[in-house]
Amino acid sequence: MTTESVRRLLDSGLDFALYRFPGEREPHLVLQTNGEALVMESLHRSPTSTGTGGLLPGNEPSGFIFAPFTETAKTPTLLIRPDVAVSGWELIDLETRTLGKQRRISLSSIELEDRTEDIEESDGYKVAFRSFKYQLDRENYQKLVLSFSQLKDWEGAGHEDELFVRATERFPNSMVYLVYTHQAGRWFGCTPELLLEGYGQKWHTMALAGTRTWEHGEWNGKNVHEQRIVSDYIEGQLQGLGARITRHGPYTSKAGHLFHLRTDYTFHLPKPTQPLNIINLLHPTPALCGLPKMEAWNFIRLFERNRRLYYGGYLGPLNLRAETNIFVNIRCAQIRPGGKALFFAGGGLTRNSIFSEEKDEIKRKMDTLLSALVKDQS
């Protein structure tokens, strides 16, 4: 029943989001039964460093939001309308039984590029690393995040139904998702990083940074410093809202075969506000961008040599049944026609970063996602 339900969604050609939260067993579905996902205009064309903007309570948008790292005409922020919003395989199966078949995959709003080189062979990543490190060494930035993408043949092409079900079993501590919209195409991911969760005046977020495998044992100074930058930033932004903050961490958190340093925050606001106000204040955090925020964001756009598309953005149900659960879009891939997928990964750079270590971290993060995309691991 589970894979059949996913296959019906994929065959329908309708915009949808199928997702499973960390720690849960059953998935959720948001399905738009006609038309294309709403383009949400000018939410955060440039990130702000202070303030929450002018969005006031009342008439809040509701649905599944899918936002890029940087809004452009070709990568807008999208909202899938919740014409159908159900939870659990049984209800998802019932809702998908009446769907027709269209087999329509559209990537018309995003130019397709063939970046097939491995990071070991990538001159672009090496040049970008040197450019980023040059700025960090001169203390123009505290941190910069450098990303990389690679187009790979995918042995599981056409089997996203099996992929989603397997990933929910392999990544219990991540938000696992499969999203399709006409504008953005088909995306899959397993993200462990919460951006915002809650409603009204009570909210949760986290600072997630630093990466190692189990074999590497203790956290080194570079990873501890990197996570502290993210934590300090989040605490500063929340304090600017007048929030009462409860902090837990940092502690080691497992995501697939990788481990991260994580600090959890629960915070109470003086008065209710739209979740998009808080999201625009936090996003992008130094875990995906850098510090100072505005300057790092502009530098990345100009010198990264990699189009992030929806990697490094965020996604999740927004004001759905009065609650919001938004995650940062990391460990993700855009599924392409012809048996391919464009994989994304990134790493935080500081003055202490070493090229070989950062390159290996990118490979490990891509391998995490690839382990879910292999059709047969027996």
Question: At how many degrees (to 10) do helices 123-137 and 293-303 cross?
Answer: 150
What's the predicted TM-score (pTM) here? 0.92
Query: When comparing pLDDT for 135 and 106, which is higher?
Result: 135
Beta-carbon contacts of 172 under 8 Å, excluding residues fewer than 6 positions away, are 22, 23
pLDDT of residue 1: 61
Instruction: Work out the pLDDT band at 2, boundaries 50, 70, 90.
Output: confident
pLDDT-derived band at 110 (thresholds 50, 70, 90) equals low
Query: pLDDT tens across 82-104, in order?
Result: 999 999 999 999 999 988 776 55
- Has residue 374 got a pLDDT over 90? no
Are 264 and 306 a contacting pair, CB within 8 Å?
no
Which tens digits make up the pLDDT trace of 154-208?
Answer: 765 567 888 899 899 999 999 999 999 999 999 999 999 999 999 999 999 999 9
Q: How confident is the model at residue 77 (pLDDT cuts 50, 70, 90)?
A: very high
Residue 355 has pLDDT above 90, yes or no: yes
Angle at 103 between CA 189 and CA 85, to 5 degrees: 55
Torsion of CA 295, 296, 302, 308, to 10 degrees: -140
Domain ranges (residues) in the chain:
2-98+119-373
**What does each C-alpha distance from 102 to 11, 233, 268 come to in angstroms?**
6, 46, 46
Classify the C-alpha dihedral 69-214-229-141 as positive or negative. negative
CA angle 176/235/247 to nearest 5° reads 70
d(CA 17, CA 30): 5
Q: Which among 271, 94, 110 has a CA at the least distance from the CA of 200?
A: 271
Tell me the sheet residues that pair with 17. Answer: 30, 179
Greater confidence, 19 or 117?
19
AA letter at 115? R
SS (H, E, C) the chain: CHHHHHHHHHHHCCCEEEEECCCCCCCEEEECCCCCCEEECCCCCCCCCCCCCCCCCCCCCCEEEEECCCCCCCCCEEEECCCEEEECHHHHHHHHCCCCCCCCCCCCCCCCCCCCCCCCCCHHHHHHHHHHHHHHHCCCCCEEEEEEEEEEECCCCCCHHHHHHHHHHHCCCCEEEEEEECCCEEEEEEECCEEEEEECCEEEEEEEEEEECHHHCCCCHHHHHHHHHHHHHHHHHHHHCCCEEEEEEEEEEEECCEEEEEEEEEEECCCCCCHHHHHHHHCCCCCCCEECHHHHHHHHHHHCCCCCCCCCCEEEEECECCEEEEEECCCEEEEECCCEEEEEEEEEECCCCCHHHHHHHHHHHHHHHHHHHCCCCC
C-alpha span between 363 and 71 (Å, rounded): 27
pLDDT at 53: 44
Identify whether the C-beta of residue 118 lies closer than 8 Å to the C-beta of residue 124: no
Q: What is the pLDDT of residues 288-312, one digit of tens each?
A: 999 999 999 999 999 998 999 999 9
Q: Which CATH class is domain 2-98+119-373?
A: alpha beta
* Residue pair 220/348 in contact by the 8 Å Cβ criterion: no
What are the backbone dihedrals phi and psi of residue 286, each rounded to the nearest 5 degrees, phi first? Answer: -60, -15
